[in-house]
Amino acid sequence: MLKDFKHIQTAHCENGITTSLLRYHGLDYMNEPLAFGIGSGLFYIQIPFMKINNGPAISFRTMPGAIFKRTCKSLGVDVKRKKFKDHKAARDFLDLKISEGIPVACQVGVFHLTYFPVKYRFHFNAHNLIVYGKNHNHYLISDPIMEDVTTLSVKELEKARFTQGAFAPKGHIYYPENVSEPDIELLKKGIVRGIKRNVRDMLHIPGHVAGVKGIKHTSKQIRKWREKLGPKKAGLYLGQIVRMQEEIGTGGGGFRFIYAAFLEQAANNLKEDKLTAISDDFTKAGDLWRSSAVQMAGIYKGRLSEQKDFDETADILLEIYETEKLAFKKLSKLKLSK
Amino acid sequence: MKKENIPQDKSALENFTRELYYVKNNNGKYKTGLSIGWDIKKDALDNAWGEVNRRIEEARNAVKEGRKSPIYFFIELNLMNISILSGYTGFWKLSVKRHLKPGVFNKLSDKKLDIYARAFDISIDELKNFKG
């Protein structure tokens, strides 16, 4: 076991990896909202022409890997990453890092994660965990979404590192390097940069399926689903949105609250009160996402089935679109300086 | 959301973990709290599994009636699709599609069947002899 490795539970796996590994290397100010905000994690996209588990492909956060990469880069930390074709090479490299006393992150597929409840084990390949040691034939695992640490056998971890399908991990392993002393000026810079980049991603991304416009796009689609797919399939599609929104520990609602918590911290760090008010806007967006989930549940449980129920769901999404658009516009108008 | 509003509904997370929420405390500041689950999410997950099980039964019938090969059933049983299975076996997607036809399946070599059986984590006999 590595000295002093401390397991930290977070709402989302990649935030957790970033927080735990940077703290391990001495950045003791790091926490989940900061990692998420500096990495410009908040996003929305309904990926066109793609289906996940036979339903719409929607994501409430930026692409896998981006939060870790951006946050490290902003704080002057190098990122090392490696992918493998050969299983043995992947295992040897992991063992080498462990023997050097370096905790590392691995991308894994949930389908083969034996410690997950069976009900959650779909083919989802963008989960991340930390390996912080090895004990005979078992790796010591810190999975950020869990309250406690766990273990996986050598064979089990290998299977999870080489799952197939969309975002196949290919043994992907990554970790920070050259982490310097905590520097508050650098942190402030990182916060400002994170906010500006998130404004860009949510307001100015081209096309109509991503950013705040993407929420409007999904809203429009929901109005048509009942007619187009029939109430049963439309219900399954809505259920999929809720599951994407609220997977274990993460979620559309969840991410909005994390972002609100980030802006609260940013207000303190940058001594900018206006950020506190905007933080409240994101709390409101999070609450609205949760209301939309309750409404969608009414449909997939069969309690609601009329077109007006679909329209009401779509209306909530439209309200979310307006709320998030306004909040990001306010952010874009702030003159933030570190 | 406020701390006292964190849902505490029994869910599939039992004996696994509680999950972390960011919520407001009484002073309007963010802090974290733990939840054992939320019925809204539980229902979405149950609903998704209902659909998975429906597809599995449909696939079982298709094999029983000789319309599809056993591979079709095991794809559904393992929550896969043709592209995931193509990843695990190394066969082209088009080949996998052909192997879903009972006539083509019956002529597959043991070597190929073994590759499929491994992808499904079953024995070659289980694959060959699955009748629906």
Question: Mind listing the pLDDT tens digit for each residue in A150-168?
Answer: 999 999 999 999 999 988 9
Q: Do A122 and A213 reside in the same domain of the chain?
A: no
Q: Of the candidates A112, A146, A177, which is a domain's last residue? A: A177
**Which phi and psi angles does A35 have, rounded to 5°?**
-60, -45
Q: Is residue A68 in a domain?
A: no
Q: What span, in angstroms and rounded, lies between the C-alpha atoms of A246 and A273?
A: 30
Contact A11 B79 (CB under 8 A): no
**Which phi and psi angles does A250 have, rounded to 5°?**
-110, -150
Give residue B59's pLDDT band: very low, low, confident or very high (50, 70, 90).
very high
Structural domains in chain A (count): 2
Give residue A54's pLDDT band: very low, low, confident or very high (50, 70, 90).
confident
Q: Which domain holds residue A171?
A: 13-30+78-177
Q: Is residue A147 in a domain?
A: yes
Residue type, A169: P
Residue A336 has a pLDDT of 87
Other Cβ atoms within 10 Å of B88 Cβ, number: 20
Q: Of the candidates A118, A150, A177, which is a domain's last residue? A: A177
Contacts of A146 (CB under 8 A, 6+ apart): A9, B16, B17
Residue A52 has a pLDDT of 78
| Chain A residues 4-43 within an 8 A CB cutoff of chain B | 9-11, 33
Taking the CA of residue B124 and the nearest CA in chain A, the distance in Å comes to 20
Q: Do A124 and A252 reside in the same domain of the chain?
A: no
Contact B79 A53 (CB under 8 A): yes
B89 contacts B108 by C-beta, under 8 angstroms: no
Q: Do A310 and A188 reside in the same domain of the chain?
A: yes
Residue A218 has a pLDDT of 96
Average pLDDT score over residue span A297-306:
91
Q: Do A119 and A191 reside in the same domain of the chain?
A: no
CA distances in angstroms from A33 to A66, A260, B30, listed in the order given: 15, 8, 10
Query: What is the maximal distance between C-alpha atoms in chain A?
Result: 61
Q: Do A218 and A165 reside in the same domain of the chain?
A: no
Average pLDDT score over residue span B111-122:
97
Task: Please give the residue that has the higher pLDDT: either A53 or B13.
Answer: B13
CA distances in angstroms from B6 to A109, A330, B18, B34, listed in the order given: 29, 29, 12, 8
Residue A14 has a pLDDT of 94
Contact A242 B44 (CB under 8 A): yes
- The answer on pLDDT for A313 being more than 60 is yes
Q: What span, in angstroms and rounded, lies between the C-alpha atoms of B83 and B22?
A: 37
Out of A53, A146, A300, the one facing B43 most closely (by C-beta) is A300
Q: What span, in angstroms and rounded, lies between the C-alpha atoms of A31 and A8?
A: 9
Provide the CATH number for the domain formed by B41-128 in this structure. Answer: 1.10.260
Q: Do A270 and A226 reside in the same domain of the chain?
A: yes
Q: Do A150 and A21 reside in the same domain of the chain?
A: yes
Q: Do A160 and A192 reside in the same domain of the chain?
A: no
Q: Is residue A55 in a domain?
A: no
Tens-place pLDDT, residues A100-147: 999 999 999 999 999 999 999 988 898 999 999 999 999 999 999 999
Q: What span, in angstroms and rounded, lies between the C-alpha atoms of A31 and A37?
A: 10
Q: Of the candidates A147, A177, A207, which is a domain's last residue? A: A177
- Per-chain mean pLDDT for chain A: 93
Give residue A314's pLDDT band: very low, low, confident or very high (50, 70, 90).
very high
Residue A4 has a pLDDT of 81
Out of B24, B29, B48, the one facing A239 most closely (by C-beta) is B48
Taking the CA of residue B14 and the nearest CA in chain A, the distance in Å comes to 9
What whole-number percentage of chain A has pLDDT above 70?
96
* Of B27, B32, B13, residue with least CA distance to A257: B32
Sequence spans of domains, chain B:
3-37, 41-128
Contact A147 B43 (CB under 8 A): no
ipTM, 2 dp = 0.93
Residue B76 has a pLDDT of 97
Residue pairs spanning A and B at CB distance below 8 A: 110
Interface test with A, best of B18, B27, B47, B93 (most A CBs within 10 A): B47
Q: Say if A214 is an interface residue toward chain B (CB within 8 Å).
A: no
**Which phi and psi angles does A71 have, rounded to 5°?**
-65, -45
Q: Do A297 and A317 reside in the same domain of the chain?
A: yes
Contacts of A335 (CB under 8 A, 6+ apart): none
- The answer on pLDDT for A2 being more than 70 is no
Q: What span, in angstroms and rounded, lies between the C-alpha atoms of A73 and B115?
A: 42
Q: What span, in angstroms and rounded, lies between the C-alpha atoms of B63 and B55?
A: 12
Q: Do A154 and A214 reside in the same domain of the chain?
A: no
Helix residue ranges per DSSP H, chain B? 39-64, 70-77, 82-89, 93-99, 102-106, 110-120, 124-128
Q: Is residue A42 in a domain?
A: no
Taking the CA of residue A178 and the nearest CA in chain B, the distance in Å comes to 30
Tens-place pLDDT, residues B20-41: 999 999 999 999 999 999 999 8
Q: Do A321 and A240 reside in the same domain of the chain?
A: yes
Taking the CA of residue B112 and the nearest CA in chain A, the distance in Å comes to 18
Tens-place pLDDT, residues A242-277: 887 655 545 457 899 999 999 999 999 999 999 999
Contact B22 A260 (CB under 8 A): yes
Residue A1 has a pLDDT of 52
Tens-place pLDDT, residues A166-199: 889 999 999 999 999 999 999 999 999 999 999 9
In CATH, what number is assigned to the domain containing residue A155?
Answer: 3.90.70.10
